[in-house]
């Protein structure tokens, strides 16, 4: 397949490309990013586009204004052809872009009852195309990019139109285009970015700590985040996670300068004094709170809370075993294993039962169809439709 590969690292060239893309009906898109591996945070490192003729590698480390390009991504008349776009979608939301009309070809494969696989393997299976060596885990933040990296990045988008045409034809033959339409709406209605909560990220540590220890732990986590951001280093390369627990329990910084699992910039006496001051203020707040120092960081459930949680757990078990699993098994029998897992995975079941997840329309129709076929009355599946 012949195409021109263009590397865009100047703002004026990106604006020219945007003008060129106006009126396009579809664009293949992919992102290369770093998520706390080489740098701090969730960062875009490269943006790849293919318009059917030329491939564009856009350098976000050199270009700062993406507003005009993002406007194209948000234009519902332009179909964005992608593959396994979940993390890319969240990153675009993080950057302030809300893309629409996304055709994720990994989703299309699920709707065709095909197993999830890497794009490299899918291209071999579907098109007989062998792509270049895998550079996904290479450092996309470093410049200049190697020619092999550029080729790998280009191949993430240049075959997507061919793949889309083949898969959509199969989907059309099975009369499942409406399923794809519902999946597009389902993605667009999701929030995209999920902000981690410290209690969830460090739930294991919290479970074993007193309230006072947990407060010191949170203060140390915040300091690590700020220092990692300043150095533009992943947090784990600044301070090992185990040290957060060690010093929060120890309540002093004896031995800190000799630690091998901290960044060299943290071993100075100035830093030790800053950390001591942070703990001093935190301990003062703990003393003023009046909360007993030995109280658990995660308070025990009240009697009413225990009863409520027990009832919810029983409800999830009963509705899963008596309703959702039989429905899923019926869908597996009729449509296939990969479709049934995609339509209603085990993780989804709990969220559906407690009302945290509303399924797309076609999935509900499949479940209602299965309920009729296995003899489950409408009133037993009403919670799916609420």
What are 147-156's pLDDT values in tens digits? 999 999 999 9
Q: For 141-175, what is each residue's pLDDT tens digit? A: 999 999 999 999 999 999 999 999 999 999 999 99
Residue 380: is its pLDDT beyond 80? yes
- Please classify residue 274 by burial: count the beta carbons closer than 10 Å to its beta carbon, then call 0-12 exposed, 13-18 middle and 19+ buried: middle
Considering the chain, what percentage of its residues have pLDDT values greater than 90? 91
**What's the token pair of residue 288?**
């003023």
Predicted pLDDT of residue 186: 96
Q: For 199-223, what is each residue's pLDDT tens digit? A: 889 999 999 999 999 999 999 999 9
Peptide bond into 312 cis (omega under 30): no
Residue 135: is its pLDDT beyond 80? no
Name the residue among 45, 50, 64, 44 with its Cα closest to residue 20. 50
Predicted pLDDT of residue 48: 98
Name the residue among 20, 124, 140 with its Cα closest to residue 91. 140
Predicted pLDDT of residue 152: 93
Mean pLDDT of the chain: 95
Predicted pLDDT of residue 195: 64
pLDDT band at 300 (very low <50, low <70, confident <90, very high): confident
**What's the token pair of residue 224?**
């690590």
Predicted pLDDT of residue 2: 81
Residue 307: DSSP 8-state: H
Residue 83: is its pLDDT beyond 80? yes
Question: How many Å apart are CA 119 and CA 81, to the nearest integer?
Answer: 13
Domains annotated on the chain, with CATH:
4-189 (3.30.420.10), 198-289 (1.10.150), 303-385 (no CATH)
Residue 34: is its pLDDT beyond 90? yes
Contacts of 157 (CB under 8 A, 6+ apart): 28, 29, 30, 48, 49, 50, 55
Residue 193: is its pLDDT beyond 70? no
Question: Per this entry, what is the length of the chain?
Answer: 386
The dihedral through the CA atoms of 322, 324, 327, 328 has a sign that is: negative
**What's the token pair of residue 177?**
């285009």
pLDDT band at 197 (very low <50, low <70, confident <90, very high): confident
Residue 59: DSSP 8-state: -
Predicted pLDDT of residue 37: 94
Residue 385: is its pLDDT beyond 90? no
Predicted pLDDT of residue 79: 98
Q: What is the mean pLDDT of residues 331-358?
A: 96
Name the residue among 214, 219, 218 with its Cα closest to residue 295. 214
Considering the chain, what percentage of its residues have pLDDT values greater than 70? 98
Predicted pLDDT of residue 131: 85
Predicted pLDDT of residue 386: 77
Residue 123: is its pLDDT beyond 80? yes
């Amino acid at each position: 397949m012949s195409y021109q590969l263009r590397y865009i690292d100047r703002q004026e060239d990106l604006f020219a490309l945007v003008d060129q893309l106006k009126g396009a009906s579809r664009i293949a898109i992919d992102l290369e990013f770093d998520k706390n591996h080489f740098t701090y945070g969730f960062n875009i490192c490269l943006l790849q586009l293919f318009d059917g003729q030329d491939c564009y590698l856009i350098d976000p480390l050199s270009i700062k204004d993406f507003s005009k390009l993002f406007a194209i991504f948000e234009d519902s008349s332009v179909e964005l052809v992608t593959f396994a776009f979940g993390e890319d979608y969240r990153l675009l939301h993080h950057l302030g872009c809300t893309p629409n009309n996304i055709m994720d070809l990994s989703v299309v494969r699920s709707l065709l009852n095909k197993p999830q696989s890497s794009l490299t393997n899918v291209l071999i299976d579907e098109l007989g195309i062998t792509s270049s060596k895998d550079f996904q885990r290479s450092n996309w933040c470093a410049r200049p990019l190697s020619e092999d990296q550029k080729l790998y990045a280009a191949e993430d988008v240049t075959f997507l139109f061919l793949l889309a045409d083949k898969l959509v034809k199969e989907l059309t033959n099975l009369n499942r285009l409406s399923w794809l339409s519902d999946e597009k709406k389902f993605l667009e209605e999701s929030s995209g970015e999920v902000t981690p909560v410290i209690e969830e990220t460090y739930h294991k540590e919290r479970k074993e700590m007193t309230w006072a220890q947990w407060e010191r732990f949170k203060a140390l986590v915040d300091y690590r985040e700020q220092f990692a951001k300043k150095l533009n280093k992943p947090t784990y390369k600044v301070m090992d996670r185990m040290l957060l627990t060690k010093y929060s329990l120890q309540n002093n910084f004896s031995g800190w300068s000799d630690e091998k699992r901290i960044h060299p910039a943290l071993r100075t006496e100035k830093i030790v004094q800053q950390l001591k001051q942070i703990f001093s203020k935190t301990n003062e707040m703990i003393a003023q709170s009046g909360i007993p120092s030995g109280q658990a960081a995660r308070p025990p459930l009240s009697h009413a809370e225990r009863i409520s949680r027990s009832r919810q757990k029983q409800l999830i078990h009963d509705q899963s075993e008596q309703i959702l699993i039989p429905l899923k098994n019926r869908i597996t029998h009729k449509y296939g294993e990969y479709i049934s897992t995609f339509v209603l995975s085990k993780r989804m079941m709990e969220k559906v039962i407690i009302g945290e997840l509303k399924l797309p329309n076609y999935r509900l129709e499949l479940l209602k169809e299965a309920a009729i076929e296995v003899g489950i009355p409408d009133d037993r599946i009403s919670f799916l439709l609420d």
